[in-house]
Amino acid sequence: MDAVAVPGYTYDAADVARSPLTVEDLERLKQAVLFGPEDEHYLRMAGTVLAGQVEDVLDVWYGFVAAHPHLVYYFSDGKGNVNQEYLAAVRKRFGQWILDTCTRPYDQTWLNYQHEIGLRHHRTKKNQTDGVDAVPNIGLRYLIAFIYPITATMKPFLAKKGHSDEDVEKMHQAWFKAVVLTAALWSAPYVKDGDF
């Protein structure tokens, strides 16, 4: 996926909001989710495995969202009119997020962009990136709940390149930890000052 062609993808841009956490805070959060050097290795491996499968992964995830009116609702005007262009733009960024999650260093730039993603789900910045008139806020409960389908559906894709069962399991566990980590970071805009 060519990040330049992804609408609204502003990784490392000057206008990306700064995370309320530091890299030291991120290290503590990584420890809390048991994410270590071995996970980094297997996440990079997962990135190589997934690179040619991103659209297939997104087909599964978007099929899941489309099958649940209460989820596709967040791409609508609240009256049932789904904005297909909005869905398509977010899909491209979601695909880039898969690759970023696996391949980017988890540094301050990455941390800041995770905060930006959280803001874009929250009423603070939802709809602004794409200039759409859609439901103004995604409930935090769905950011948390979506951890499971985004993790459970990934294992078959990780197994498609002939890696051993052990390597597939380690890639899957690294992916799971990374998804929990990012969901935790995305929740920051939803939390009262001083409580995050």
pLDDT in tens, 15-40: 999 999 999 999 999 999 999 999 99
Q: Write out pLDDT tens, residues 42-54.
A: 999 999 999 999 9
Spatial distance between the Cα atoms of 102 and 24, rounded to a whole number of angstroms: 20
What pTM, to 2 d.p., does this model score? 0.95
Tell whether 3 is covered by a domain.
no
Tell whether 148 is covered by a domain.
yes
**How far, in whole angstroms, is CA 41 from its chain's centroid?**
19
CATH number, residue 82: 1.10.490.10
| Helical segments of the chain, H only | 23-32, 37-50, 54-66, 69-72, 84-103, 108-121, 140-145, 147-152, 155-158, 165-186
Collapsing DSSP to helix, strand or coil, 184 comes out as helix
What's the confidence (pLDDT) of residue 39?
A: 98
Spatial distance between the Cα atoms of 105 and 36, rounded to a whole number of angstroms: 13
Round to the nearest angstrom and report the end-to-end CA distance of the chain: 33
> Smallest Cα–Cα separation from 46: which of 140, 132, 175, 144?
175
Tell whether 106 is covered by a domain.
yes
Residue span of the structural domain in which 181 resides? 19-190
* Measured CA distances, 82 to 65, 133, 142 (Å): 12, 10, 18
Other C-beta atoms closer than 10 Å to the C-beta of 1 total 16
Residue numbers of the chain with a pLDDT score lower than 70: 1-4
Spatial distance between the Cα atoms of 137 and 83, rounded to a whole number of angstroms: 15
What's the confidence (pLDDT) of residue 190?
A: 98
Task: Identify any residues that bridge with 76 across adjacent strands, giving them in sequence order.
Answer: 82
Tokens of 95: 């695909």
What's the confidence (pLDDT) of residue 2?
A: 57
Tell whether 39 is covered by a domain.
yes
Tell whether 24 is covered by a domain.
yes
What's the confidence (pLDDT) of residue 5?
A: 84
What's the confidence (pLDDT) of residue 78?
A: 86
Tell whether 40 is covered by a domain.
yes
3-state secondary structure string across 78-126: CCCCECHHHHHHHHHHHHHHHHHHHHCCCCHHHHHHHHHHHHHHCCCCC
Tell whether 195 is covered by a domain.
no
What's the confidence (pLDDT) of residue 1?
A: 55
The structural domain count of the chain equals 1
The answer to whether the beta carbons of residues 107 and 51 sit under 8 Å apart is: no
Tell whether 11 is covered by a domain.
no
